[in-house]
Structure 1
Amino acid sequence: MMKHSQHTASTETLNAPTQAGAFKPITLLGSKTTRGWCYQILLALVLVGFCGWLYHNVVENLQTQRITTGFGFLQQSAQFAIGETLIDYTPRDTYARAVLVGLLNTLYVTACGIILATVLGFIVGLGRVSKNWLLVKLAEGYVELLRNVPVILQVIFWSVTIRNLPSPRGAIELAGLGFLTNRGLTFAVPEAHPGWQWTLWALLAGIVLSVALSMLARRQRERGGRLWPGARLRVALIVGLPLVVWWLCGAPHGIDRPTLRGFNFRGGFTISPEFTALLLGIALYSSAFIAEIVRAGVQSVPKGQLEAARSLSFSPWHVIRHVIIPQAMRVIVPPLASQYVSLAKNSSIAVVVGYPELANISNTLMNQTGQALEAIAIMMVVYLIISITTSLLMNIFNRYVAIKER
C-alpha cells in the first residue's frame, strides 16, 4: 500500500509543472514553421547573392571588352529590311519597331498554328476511335509518322518541298482560286473595301455574343435545370449579324484575282514559302500530339454513357456533340494547354527557314549591335509572357468546361 502511494505521488510529480504558473520554455527554432521560414529566407538570400554576383561578373566582363550595356540601342535606326510585316516598317525605323514586327509575326504564326493544329488534331483523334478499320489505320499512321520526326526536320522538309515547286510561269493552278509556286501560295481575296472591315468586326462581335449567350445558358441550366433553346440565336449572331452589316455597307462583292505579270503574280494575297513551311511544320507536329490527347479524352468517357445515349435514339453526331465532347473536354484541356505553349515556343525554329519572327530578328539585332545579353533577355521575357498568357487563358477555359459536382 505504501509502495503504491509512492508510485502515484512520483507520477503526479512528473506530470505536474515545476512551479505554479510556470511553462516549459519553447525555443525559437523548435517550431517547425519557424524553421521552414528560416530555410526559405536563407535560400532566397543565397539566390539573390548568386544573381548579384553573376550580374556583376557579366557587367565587368562586358566593360573589359568595351561592350556597352543597356536598352538605349532600341531607339537607334535598325538599318535592315524585313520581308514580311503586319505593320508598316522601313529600314529607317528603330530597333524597337523591328522587335515589335518580330513579335507580331510570332503571334500571327502561333495563332494560325494553334487553329490548324487543333482542327487537324480533333479530326485525327476522332478518327483514332472510329469503327472504320481503314480510317483508324490512316489516323494511326499520321500520328506515328509526325510525332516521331523532330519538328525542325519537318519544317526543313516543307521548306525544301516548296522551294522545288514550279516557278510562277509553270504555276500549279488550284481550280481558278489561286496558284501554287516556289514563291508561295497566291489566291484570290475580296477587293479592299471598308465594308469588309466592318463585316469582320461584326463577325467577331457575333462570336463574342454567342459565347456569352452559351455561358449564360449553361449557368441557368446548372442552377434551375432550365434549357434555353439558344442554338438558332447563336447561329443568327455568327452568320446573320455579319451578313446584315455586309448588306448595310453596300454588299461589296469585288474579287481581287492574281494575274501573272512578268516573272511573278500581281494581285490577290500571297503566303510566303517561309511562313508556309513554318506553319505546316509546327502545326502538323503538334496536331499529332493533340490527336492522342483527344483519343485519350474520348476513351475516358464511360461506355455506359454511350449505350444510354444510343438507347435514347441519339444520332452519332448528337452522341459526339452532347455526350462525348462535354465529358472528354475535362481530360483534354489540361494537356492541350501544354501543347499550345510548346507550339508557341517552337515558332522560334523560323530561324532555319528565314521567316522574320522574334528570334530571327533578334539574331540580326545581336549581329549589328553586339547587345547579345539584352536581345536574349527580350526574347526570354516575350516567350515567358506568351506562355503564361496561353496557360492563363486555357486555365480559364478549363474552369468553364469542367463538370461541377454539387
Structure 2
Amino acid sequence: MSARQQPNVTGTRPPPWRDERVLRVAVQVAFLAGVGALLWLLGGNLVRNMRAQGMRTDFGFLDQPAGFALTGTDFSSRDSIGDALLVGLQNTIVVSIWGIILATVLGVLVGIARLSTNWLVRKCAAGYVEALRNVPLIVFLLFLYLAVLQRLPRINDAFDAGGFVFSNRGLYAPWVAVAENSGIFLAICAGALALAAIVGAWRTRRFDATGEPHHRVLWGGAAFLIVAGVAWAVLDRPVSITLPSLEGRNVSGGYELSVEHGALLLGLLLYMAAFIAEIVRGSILAVPKGQSEASHALGLGGFQRYRYVVLPQALRIAIPPTGNEFINLAKNSALGIAIAFPELLRVTRIAIGQGQPAPQLVGIMMLLYLAISLLLSVVVNLLNRRLTRRGA
C-alpha cells in the first residue's frame, strides 16, 4: 500500500464511550449526581419527620433571644441565638490561633531538644513527649482544670508576679491599651509593614546581584520600628501597655483569661506540641547527614548549621504533617465542653437544651468546623506549595 493510500490515524479520536477523558468526566458527574440525590432524599426525609413532630424547619430562631448567658463573656440572655453562636465561634478561633502559634514554637524547641547532644536535655524532652502523647487529651484537660488551675489561691490571696496575677478566678496578664487615635496609628503600622517588605525584597535582590549578606529581617525590622516609633511619638502614645493591678477582690487593667479558657489553651498547646515535636525530630533526621557534615566543613557553628542548612530543609518535610496537627488542634478545642468553656460545641448544646431545633444547630456547627478546617488546610497547602517551588 502506497503512502497516499495509507489511512491517517494520527488525527482520529476514539468514540466517546471509549475516550478516557470523557469517561473520567462522566464518572465524576455520575458520582456527584448520586451524592446530590442521596442528600436530597435524606434532607426530604428529615424535613418530613420534623414537620410530623411539630418542629420548625426554618432558621428564624437564630434571631430570638437566647435566654441564657455565657460565663466569661459579655453575652447576656437578651442577645440572640445567632450572636451566641458567633461568640462560640470567636472563642474557638481565638483558642485555635493562639494554640497553633504557641504549640508550634514549643514543638520546634522540644523537637530540636530531642536531638541535643546534652544527655539531660535530650532525656527531658523525650520524657515530656512520651508522657503527653500517651495520655488522652480529655484526661489532661481535666487534670489542668481541676487539679492545677482550680487549686490556685483565691482572689483575696492571689499570686502577683509583677505584671501577672494568678488566682482561681482567672489569669491576668499585660495587655495593650488602645486610645481614640489608634486607627491612624494602625494604618501607619500597616504602611510600615509594606515598607518593611519592600526593604526586604530590595536586600534580597542586592544579595542575588552582589553576594553581599542581605540581613533582610534586620533591615525590614529596622524600617518598621523607625516608622512605627515616630508615629507613636507624634500621635502621643496611641497604644500603650497596661499591667494588671490587684485591688482587694478586683483586678484592674491587663487581659483577663478565665480559668476555663486558660486550662483549654494550656492543655491544647502542651498536648499538641508533643506531636509537633516528633514531626520536627523526624523531619530533621530525614535531612541527609551529608548536609550537616558539609556545613560543619564550611566552619558553621551549631546554631548556624540549624538556621541556614538543616531547618530550612526540614521545614519542607514537616509542613504537611504539621498542618494536620493544626486541624486536629482546632477540632479538639471542642473538648472545652468538658470544662465549661463556651466554645462552639458548648454553645450549641446549651441552645439545644433551651428547646431550639437540634438539626439546624448541629448542621450550622458542623459547617463552621468544616470551614475552619478547610481554611487551615488552604493556608498550609499554599505555604507548602511555595516552599516546594522555592526548594525546586
Band of TM-score, shorter chain:
0.7 to 0.9
Q: Is 2:52 aligned against 1:67?
A: no
Partner of 1:164: 151
Within 1, Cα distance between the matches of 2:391 and 2:247?
Answer: 62
- What's the CA shift string for 1:102-160, capped at 9, x where partnerless? 11111111111011101110110110111111111111111111111111111111111
Shift of the 283–209 alpha-carbon distance from structure 1 to 2, 3 Å rule, reads farther
Instruction: Tell me the CA shift for residue 306 of structure 1.
Output: 1.6
| Bigger mean CA deviation after superposition, 252-261 or 265-274 | 252-261
Of 45, 58, 62 in structure 1, the residue corresponding to residue 46 of structure 2 is 58
Partner of 2:11: none
Within 2, Cα distance between the matches of 1:359 and 1:73?
Answer: 18
Quick one: which amino acid aligns to residue 353 of structure 1?
Answer: I
Within 2, Cα distance between the matches of 1:195 and 1:28?
Answer: 67
Q: What SS does the aligned partner of 1:68 have?
A: coil
Within 2, Cα distance between the matches of 1:304 and 1:165?
Answer: 51
Partner of 1:46: 34
TM (norm. structure 2) is: 0.86
Of 225, 228, 250 in structure 2, the residue corresponding to residue 242 of structure 1 is 228
Partner of 2:86: 100
Shift of the 220–45 alpha-carbon distance from structure 1 to 2, 3 Å rule, reads farther
Contact 1:28 1:34 in 2 (8 A): yes
Of 274, 283, 286 in structure 2, the residue corresponding to residue 288 of structure 1 is 274
Q: What SS does the aligned partner of 1:402 have?
A: helix
For these two proteins, the number of residue pairs brought into alignment is 380
Contact 1:259 1:267 in 2 (8 A): no
Quick one: which amino acid aligns to residue 59 of structure 1?
Answer: V
Contact 1:297 1:331 in 2 (8 A): yes
Contact 1:274 1:353 in 2 (8 A): yes
Partner of 2:9: none
Within 2, Cα distance between the matches of 1:283 and 1:353?
Answer: 16
Larger Rg: 1
Shift of the 147–254 alpha-carbon distance from structure 1 to 2, 3 Å rule, reads closer
| Bigger mean CA deviation after superposition, 163-172 or 41-50 | 41-50
Unpaired segments of 5 or more residues in structure 1?
1-11, 18-25
Within 1, Cα distance between the matches of 2:188 and 2:277?
Answer: 32
Partner of 2:247: 260
Shift of the 209–333 alpha-carbon distance from structure 1 to 2, 3 Å rule, reads farther
TM (norm. structure 1) is: 0.83
Shift of the 36–324 alpha-carbon distance from structure 1 to 2, 3 Å rule, reads closer
Of 68, 74, 78 in structure 2, the residue corresponding to residue 80 of structure 1 is 68
Within 1, Cα distance between the matches of 2:320 and 2:205?
Answer: 22
Instruction: Tell me the CA shift for residue 308 of structure 1.
Output: 2.0
Partner of 1:9: none
Shift of the 196–292 alpha-carbon distance from structure 1 to 2, 3 Å rule, reads farther
Percent same amino acid at aligned positions? 34
| Bigger mean CA deviation after superposition, 28-37 or 322-331 | 28-37
- The CA RMSD over aligned residues, in Å, is 3.0
Instruction: Tell me the CA shift for residue 64 of structure 1.
Output: 1.2
Q: What SS does the aligned partner of 2:354 have?
A: helix
Quick one: which amino acid aligns to residue 154 of structure 1?
Answer: F
Quick one: which amino acid aligns to residue 305 of structure 1?
Answer: Q
